[in-house]
Structure 1
């Protein structure tokens, strides 16, 4: 059954609904095609039926049937904290992402983010500077680095940390892939930190996933009149984060 799930995941390019339909109909597989698919893989993979599948992801809505990955999958089972925020972040947001992830890494926490430019990238970098570990969840195929400007970061993460995706090969990301992958970013973290955000953004999609999963939300406050997504979340009941000790 694990190979059957792999076949569906590659055939349907990680599309959850199409894979689900194939599973429920017990759609037959082509063994020759499956062999070619496996031979073409350059990454590792795990399925929801595998022993090493991340435990936390089994608890979320629509858990990926298959995860493709490079690096140390066991990082998913350590103490993980998710960090998200704006792509076009301010200098303040950059500094806060670097500082928070650095200090959390020093405390042994694994930082989970989406490897987008801006807050995501700085969260990964801060964790590495703190001699810690970090996990990148892609919205593209596991072999497709997006954005291209993060290629050096992508290579570092593949070799020394963990890069995962429910999308196989070099699949070019579609607009709808990024909101969908945010359920994984939220699912892997025990808590979610929002560093900087607009009120309407992809970051808020991750916040909603985290809330639905019963996670605590922590927000870095910002000046009134600037990017006020965090301040709005705080006013609605999210915890305020002024020091990493606030998390504990």
Structure 2
């Protein structure tokens, strides 16, 4: 059944309703066609898991019209053994740097940090990479399209809801946010701008019932105040948000 899902996702991409309908009649697909598609991924060393596997996020099982196949490159144990944290730091100053250093010092051994490849995330990603942190990188395209400089770095785990030969589209970034929220255990704001670019990401976490944490605002321009007023959990140290291994 996994190979059937791979085949359907390969050709139908994000047409999840049609994938589901076709899944109900798998015998209509020829065995040779299944093998041909499977070999394309094998050649490119792209692996996958499906809704039938233990790695599939439980929060997506309750949702309609969501990806049923995820493609990946890297060590799958990163996804399995580490607490998955989406960390946001939109204001760089001495105070936020101190908080970030403390997060890295205390949690790099049992956390993997989630990214969706946005421009505003690059400084944070570089900081975590330099400290040999585990990074889970969600791609809004097929994994054959990625040109990330760290694609062979063993600390990186690349994952995508999109089959090969899929180029980025605006709608795919929204899907990417949603699946990143599904896999992550929590969303933690060290700081945020008043007009934060993470608003869609916040909504994804809220819609999936995931926890959002905020450190105290550093100044009047820090949007963490508004997030806390809106119901985000106030924390003063990282242990309040990440207590144990997954």
- Give TM class, smaller chain: 0.7 to 0.9
CA distance in 2, matches of 1:8, 1:94: 45
* 2:51 paired residue among 36, 48, 51: 48
**In the alignment, what sits opposite 1:237?**
231
Deviation at 1:5, TM superposition (A): 0.4
C-alpha deviations, 1:100-144, integer Å up to 9, x for none?
A: 65235434112122132222x344444433333221111111122
CA distance in 2, matches of 1:97, 1:153: 25
**In the alignment, what sits opposite 2:110?**
108
| TM-score normalised by L of structure 1 | 0.79
CA distance in 2, matches of 1:73, 1:56: 17
CA distance in 2, matches of 1:97, 1:37: 47
C-alpha deviations, 1:177-205, integer Å up to 9, x for none?
A: 11112122112222211344456665222
**In the alignment, what sits opposite 1:214?**
209
Structure 1 residue runs of 5 or longer lacking an equivalent are none
**8 A Cα contact 1:138 1:181, kept in partner:** yes
Bigger drift between 130-139 and 90-99 goes to: 90-99
Counterpart check, 1:5 vs 2:5: yes
**8 A Cα contact 2:132 2:155, kept in partner:** no
Larger radius of gyration: 2
How many residue pairs end up in the alignment? 236
Deviation at 1:163, TM superposition (A): 0.6
Deviation at 1:35, TM superposition (A): 2.2
Trace 1:65-214 onto structure 2 (pairs within 5 A): 65-85=68-88, 89-92=90-93, 95=97, 99=101, 102-103=104-105, 105-119=107-121, 121-145=122-146, 151-156=148-153, 159-197=154-192, 203-214=198-209
Structure 2 residue runs of 5 or longer lacking an equivalent are none
**Secondary structure at 2:119 match in 1:** coil
Counterpart check, 1:223 vs 2:219: yes
CA distance in 1, matches of 2:145, 2:59: 23
CA distance in 1, matches of 2:96, 2:117: 14
